Structures are given as structure tokens and as C-alpha cells.
Chains A and B, each alone.
Chain A
Amino acid sequence: MSSSLPEPVLRALREGFPPDFLTQEPGELAEYGRDWTRVYAPAPSGVVFPRSTEEVARLLALCHAHHVAVVPSGGRTGLAAGAVAAKGELVLSLRRMTRMEPVDVLGQTVRVQAGAITEAVHQHCAPLGLTWPVDFASKGSSTVGGNIATNAGGVKVIRYGLTRQWVLGLQVVTADGQVLELNGALEKNNTGLDLRQLFVGSEGTLGVITEATLKLTRLPGSLDVLLLAVPDVAGVLRVFREARQTSLTLSAYEFFTDACLARVERHRRFRQPFEARSGCYVLMEVEGAAPDVLEGFLASLFERGLVTDGTLAQSPSQASELWAYRESISESLSATGLPHKNDIALPIACLEAFCGELSRVFTERYPGWEICLFGHIGDGNLHVNVMKPEDMAKEDFFAHTKAADHTMFELVRRYRGSISAEHGIGLLKRDYLSYSRAPAELALLRALKTTLDPHHILNPGKVLD
């Protein structure tokens, strides 16, 4: 693939589409060529902004005919470089396709275009008491299309599952420009293979999602938000075990270490939540709890010394304050240093044993380095962030972490975990995919890719090489 657009393509883009369809302005190229990863230098050949599925279809047919690589692009909040265009690809941004249809209150669905912002969908549905329960810190920038293409996770997975479970229908444009309508708004449709699910989590490598019918649910009733101080990761898991054995409905069970909190306090200028510092903190959200059940549970945690300090939000604004400690971690790590990020998942039953071994990996591979550990531990999901030591060059740092990742991923494989719980594979984790997928599986994935995108124009080099 060439790094600039072929002349006939450039001409077709200028003559066959509106004048503001294509931009090659350097500032825009730099902006649209990257996501929240900062590892690759952006270098797209252009950015196009279609307004309709029809324009997307014509564009892809054109790119297919001329073998032009295309990077589908949503809110670019990804953390695996799935939306990075570093090799002269054409970025297909869906940011102009933000239409949302009226909510179907009876069916509890809503049809939206792929560029609709996640939070805008929430605001669209909330007045009717409904929500699309896909929720994370970047919801103000991420788009529905990106959420679906990456099968996004987030902070409510413990309660609602992944994005995959909240997509009823998809409209997808294939690499050669065909428009597929998959499943529509059907709750039940047992007519053979469910092609829709093929595109959920495909990271833009199989087709471009242009519209989706989203499944909605009732907004939760009362939510209680707690922040607890526990001594260590083992303590986090002990409290989780206790919470699982009560009748409480957990809608979030998150944890972070004191290293994360210290960086949040530094970057966001938040106060220390408790008088004494603690090794780890748990952010727990409970839905519709009877006050006596919740208080009984908390009292027993204290009496047995499982938590050393804690608070229960007394108002919605206090609940937001407590959530902000957890939700500010990613941005605070990037703002105060350079993190090397890993997003791993383990069977929940293995977490305790795995974490024990993980700290040995840290001692061996990163002696004395700052490691910021946090994540959706209730889903078996750990975000492992190794911070670049101040006096180390960026290249040396990434070379070191790359080597160390193999040691960690070997451990993940041994526990039958995943090397990417929710961030996806993109470019960043591609070379490690074999730690989580067997050779036979990889061969099947390649065959599917070639069938759907014979010229390999869709997000080439992402997920598979």
C-alpha cells in the first residue's frame, strides 16, 4: 500500500463526494491518525467524514477497487492502537453520523448511527427511565460504533456484561461496499449463524459499522457507592468473596492501589480520602440494597478487620466524588508519567493465586519500578500499568516492557487468562495474540478475514498481521 492516495482515488474523492468530505490538513491528519495510545506516530494519507451509509458504501467500494487501506474511526479513545493510522491509511471517521432515532419504549431499543457519542445515547434515553448500560470513563468521547467494534467493557460489566450483550441489530458496510442489515430489532432470531456477533469486537477489520439498534434496560434504582480501604490485593479479593456471598446486587467492584491514588491526587488535586494511607482501595457500587442488609455487611467487614477504613456516599454528589477517584486513574497516569499498559483477565477463581505469582514477576522484571495496578477486579480484569522510570529513555523503557510482557503473558496463559480483557488487540497486542488464541483458532480468524476483506483494506495490520 502506498503512503499517499492514488491519483484516481483522490480525483474520485473530490468529484464524487461533498467538498468537505476529505481533509489532508496536517493538524487533522495528526489528530485523526491516533487514539489514546501514544506509541505510534500518526501518518494517515487523509481523513474522510461521510454523512450517510450510502457515502460509506461508495467510499469502501472505491477503496476496495484501488486497494486503499482504510482505518475506521470513532471517538479514538482506544488503548490498543486499533484506530491508529501510522502507515498512510485513509481514516474513515464516523463523527458526522450522530443521528439518534426516537427511543422505542415498548421494545426498549433505540436505533443510532455509529458516530453517536456514548454519553449522548445515555442522555437521549434517560428521560424515559432507560439506559444503554455500556459505561466507562471515556463515555463523553467514545462512540457507539467504536464501543461495538471493540466490544467495550467498562465499569458496569459485573452487572450488565460486555457491549456484545446490548446490541440487537447492526448495519455494516463490507469491504467491497455492500450494506448488510443484521438482525434488525429482533430479540429472538434463530435463523442460523448470528453474523452480527462476528462484527462485534472485530476492531474494524471485517466491516464498517454504520448504524446499530441498541438494547436498553431500566435505569437502576437507588445506588449506594462505597470506598473501602484494604491492606492489599489479597484483601480486595477477600472483601469480594464476602460481597458475593450476600444478597447484595453489585453493579461495580473496582480496585486500585495506593500508587494509583497518589497519582490521581497529584494530577486532579483530589484530597486524600481517608486519614491514613492504605495499600489498596475498593470502589463498590450496590444496587437497590435494603439499608439494614448493606449496613450489616459493612459492620461485619469492620468487626473482622477486613477493611481498615471506608465511607458510604451520603449524596449523589459524594457518590460522583468517590467514583472520580477510580475514573481519573487512566488520565492521571498518562498526565503524570508514561505508563506501559496491560489489560489482562483471569478466571475469577484463579485471581488470588495469579496475583501472588504476578508480584514475583514484578520483583524479578521490574525491581523498584512503580507499578500502578487497578481494574475491574470483580470481572477478573486487572489493568497493569508499569510507569517509566524518570531517568530512562522512552525506547529503552518500551524495549524492557516488551520483554517483560512475555514473562507476564506466559503466566496469563498458564492460568488460562486473556492478554486483553477489554482493550482489544489493535496493533499494541497483536504480536502477543498467540498467548490467548491457539494456532487453529488463529487460522480460522485469518480465513474469515480473507473471506470478508479479500484485499485486506480494512484496518490492515490490526489484530492479525
Chain B
Amino acid sequence: MKILVTAKRVEDAESKIRVNPQGTGIVPEGLKYKINPFDEIAVEEGLRLVAKHGGEVVVVSIGGKEVQEQLRHALAMGAHKAVWVNHAGALDQLAIAALLAKVVEAEKPDLAILGKQSIDDDQNQVGQYLAEFLGWGQATFASKVESLESDAEKGKHPGVMLSADGKAVVVVREVDNGLATVECQMPAVVTTDLRLNLPRYASLPGIMKAKSKPIQELTPAGLGVDVTPKVVIQKMVPPPARKAGIKVPDVATLVDKLKNEAKVV
């Protein structure tokens, strides 16, 4: 089978992220990047599925030439080939989904696995739009039945399963009051939640091999997609700074303040 996965480049939360003084975006200096953690889970799940059923994993990223770092990371984890949609400017979720739909049409995968959202703008829209554009079924928020410390997880068993006839995908998804199991005819779109798997580290031989794996370059124009954003960020505002705490001399004062000032007890 063929599985398409995404690897969005996002800011690493270990970097200090600050809104610029103009409020038009974040300060890029000193930032470090990584694969969106939900996408990294998607890559891992794709690799586990092809390890079990055979096939290949194609990883896609959209952005300037720097996104090749994230593609190489996914290739080092074990993805077989990479597609890079070269576009430097801002994109909204509709444009991203439209670009991915074109890549899917060209690659013809059986499954597209995406992170349920990216940790930079936390939109949680692309997977759903993509399914709509393709007319495919969707199973969002794929999660796992057992704990991530279970033997099945240690044995790298996939959490996303194929049905007995191999024509449908069975997904356990996290819902508000528990877990629901859904089945979708393939091809289908699956989006991953945090508890689906623990992504592997890129092995050293994998890192070496990734150097010679192909990265195919595409452009929005070549794909025939108009990426003019319909949604534009007007302004960014940092959250208000937290007020300094105070010290109270004793428990009685604390209780008094909780009662009469904070009014929480």
C-alpha cells in the first residue's frame, strides 16, 4: 500500500517565541524548528503500517527550501520519498488542503495520514478539508486503545488497522467521553492524536540513507492551485504578562485572601 504523510515545519517550543513589536508575526531570530509533533506521529504510523502490510510512505511538506530539513528528518525515520511544495509566503488552511489534494491526485495513495493540527496555529482544519476536496472518508483524532507504555507499543504495532479484507481502515478515535471505533473505506484521510504512538528516533543509518533519497519539488503554480489567502492574520498580541505573586505570613491570611479577595473558597 501507499501512504502519504505530512511533515509541517513548526517552531520548536524549546525556542523563545515572541510576538514582534508591530504585532504582524513572531520574531524569527533565534528560533529553532522541528516537524509538527502530530505530523511526526503520522509519519511513525505510516511507517508501522507499511512495515506490517508492505508498501511505501511518501512525505509531503509545504514551504520554503528550509522545509527540506523536516523532509530529511522524515526520510531518516524511514519514509521512502519526499514531495516538497515550494512556496515561501503565508498560506491559509484551505490553500494547504488544496495543494495536498493535488499532491494526492498525483501520488494516488491508499491513505493520507496527517497530524490533527499543527502546534503553531492550532487550526485543526486541513485533514477535514482534504477529505472533502477528495471526496474521501475521514477518521480524525486517531488514538490508541492501550497505553503508550504497553508491549504492543514497544513492539511498534500500528494503532490504525486495516480491515480483514484490506479495503477499509479501522481507527480508534478519542472522543469527549471515551474512545469510539470507526471504519472507513479506503482511500481515506486519517488525522492523528497525541496518544497514537511514540515516534521513533531517526537511526544513524537512517540519517545516512536519507541523504540519497529523492525529494521531488513542486510549486503551487505547477499544481494549478491559487494560494491567495482568504484568511489573513490581522494582528498578533502576546498574552498579558502574569502579575507577580505575593507572600502571605501565615495560613490564616492565605485562607482569608482566598475567601475574600480571590473568592475561590
A interface with B by C-beta (< 8 Å): 227-228, 269, 271-274, 295, 298-299, 301-302, 307, 309-312, 314-318, 320
Contacts A269-B149, A271-B198, A272-B154: A316 and B32 contacting too (C-beta < 8 A)?
A: yes
Whether the pair B204, A315 counts as a contact (CB closer than 8 A) is: no
Interface string of B209-229 (1 = CB under 8 A from A): 001000000000000000000
Q: Given B76, B198, B211, which contacts A314 in the complex, CB threshold below 8 Å?
A: B76
Q: Given A269, A272, A309, which contacts B204 in the complex, CB threshold below 8 Å?
A: A309
Ordered nearest first, which 9 A-B pairs have the shortest CB separation?
Answer: A315-B34, A311-B201, A316-B14, A310-B204, A314-B73, A316-B32, A316-B12, A317-B14, A315-B12
Q: Given A272, A311, A318, which contacts B203 in the complex, CB threshold below 8 Å?
A: A311
Interface of A is mostly: mixed
Chain B's closest residue to A269 (CB) is B149
Q: How far is the CA of A228 from the CA of B204 in the complex (A)?
A: 9
A-B contacts at CB below 8 angstroms, number: 59
B77 smallest CB distance to A (angstroms)? 9
Q: How far is the CA of A332 from the CA of B202 in the complex (A)?
A: 26
**Most B C-beta atoms less than 10 A away, residue of A269, A307, A310:** A310
Chain A's closest residue to B34 (CB) is A315
B residues within 8 A CB of A318? Answer: 34, 201
Chain B's closest residue to A315 (CB) is B34
Tell whether B170 is near chain A: CB-to-CB under 8 Å.
Answer: no
Tell whether B134 is near chain A: CB-to-CB under 8 Å.
Answer: no
Contacts A269-B149, A312-B202: A317 and B208 contacting too (C-beta < 8 A)?
A: no
A residues within 8 A CB of B211? Answer: 295
B residues within 8 A CB of A311? Answer: 201-204, 207
Q: How far is the CA of A307 from the CA of B198 in the complex (A)?
A: 24
Tell whether B24 is near chain A: CB-to-CB under 8 Å.
Answer: no
B residues within 8 A CB of A272? Answer: 154
Q: How far is the CA of A317 from the CA of B201 in the complex (A)?
A: 12
* 24 contacts across the A-B interface (CB closer than 8 A): A227-B201, A272-B154, A274-B203, A295-B211, A298-B204, A299-B208, A301-B204, A302-B204, A302-B205, A309-B204, A311-B204, A311-B207, A314-B34, A314-B35, A314-B76, A315-B33, A315-B34, A316-B12, A316-B14, A316-B15, A316-B32, A317-B13, A317-B14, A318-B201
B residues within 8 A CB of A228? Answer: 204
Q: How far is the CA of A312 from the CA of B208 in the complex (A)?
A: 11
Q: How far is the CA of A269 from the CA of B149 in the complex (A)?
A: 8
Besides A269-B149, A271-B149, A274-B201, 13 other A-B contacts (C-beta < 8 A)? A227-B201, A271-B148, A274-B203, A298-B207, A298-B208, A307-B204, A312-B202, A314-B76, A316-B32, A316-B34, A317-B14, A318-B201, A320-B14
A residues within 8 A CB of B154? Answer: 271-272
Chain B 7-28 interface residues, beta-carbon cutoff 8 Å to A: 12-15
Chain B 129-175 interface residues, beta-carbon cutoff 8 Å to A: 148-149, 154
Whether the pair A295, B13 counts as a contact (CB closer than 8 A) is: no
B residues within 8 A CB of A269? Answer: 149
A198 smallest CB distance to B (angstroms)? 38
Chain A's closest residue to B153 (CB) is A271
Contacts A314-B34, A315-B12, A318-B34: A273 and B201 contacting too (C-beta < 8 A)?
A: yes
Contacts A272-B154, A317-B34: A312 and B14 contacting too (C-beta < 8 A)?
A: no
A450 smallest CB distance to B (angstroms)? 42
Q: How far is the CA of A316 from the CA of B31 in the complex (A)?
A: 10
B144 smallest CB distance to A (angstroms)? 14
Q: How far is the CA of A89 from the CA of B154 in the complex (A)?
A: 52
A residues within 8 A CB of B14? Answer: 315-317, 320
A residues within 8 A CB of B208? Answer: 295, 298-299, 302
B60 smallest CB distance to A (angstroms)? 18
Q: How far is the CA of A312 from the CA of B15 in the complex (A)?
A: 19
B residues within 8 A CB of A317? Answer: 12-14, 34
B205 smallest CB distance to A (angstroms)? 6
B39 smallest CB distance to A (angstroms)? 12
**Most B C-beta atoms less than 10 A away, residue of A273, A295, A302, A317:** A317
B44 smallest CB distance to A (angstroms)? 12
Interface string of B169-193 (1 = CB under 8 A from A): 0000000000000000000000000
A60 smallest CB distance to B (angstroms)? 28
Chain B's closest residue to A127 (CB) is B16
Q: How far is the CA of A272 from the CA of B156 in the complex (A)?
A: 12
Whether the pair A310, B203 counts as a contact (CB closer than 8 A) is: yes
A residues within 8 A CB of B73? Answer: 314-315
A residues within 8 A CB of B205? Answer: 302
Q: How far is the CA of A266 from the CA of B192 in the complex (A)?
A: 27
A residues within 8 A CB of B32? Answer: 315-316
A residues within 8 A CB of B204? Answer: 228, 298, 301-302, 307, 309-312
Chain A's closest residue to B69 (CB) is A314
Whether the pair B35, A309 counts as a contact (CB closer than 8 A) is: no
Whether the pair B202, A314 counts as a contact (CB closer than 8 A) is: yes
Chain A's closest residue to B15 (CB) is A316
Chain B's closest residue to A321 (CB) is B201
B residues within 8 A CB of A227? Answer: 201
A54 smallest CB distance to B (angstroms)? 23
Q: How far is the CA of A227 from the CA of B202 in the complex (A)?
A: 11
A218 smallest CB distance to B (angstroms)? 14
Q: How far is the CA of A311 from the CA of B207 in the complex (A)?
A: 8
Q: How far is the CA of A314 from the CA of B12 in the complex (A)?
A: 11
B residues within 8 A CB of A316? Answer: 12, 14-15, 32, 34
Q: How far is the CA of A320 from the CA of B203 in the complex (A)?
A: 17
Whether the pair A295, B34 counts as a contact (CB closer than 8 A) is: no
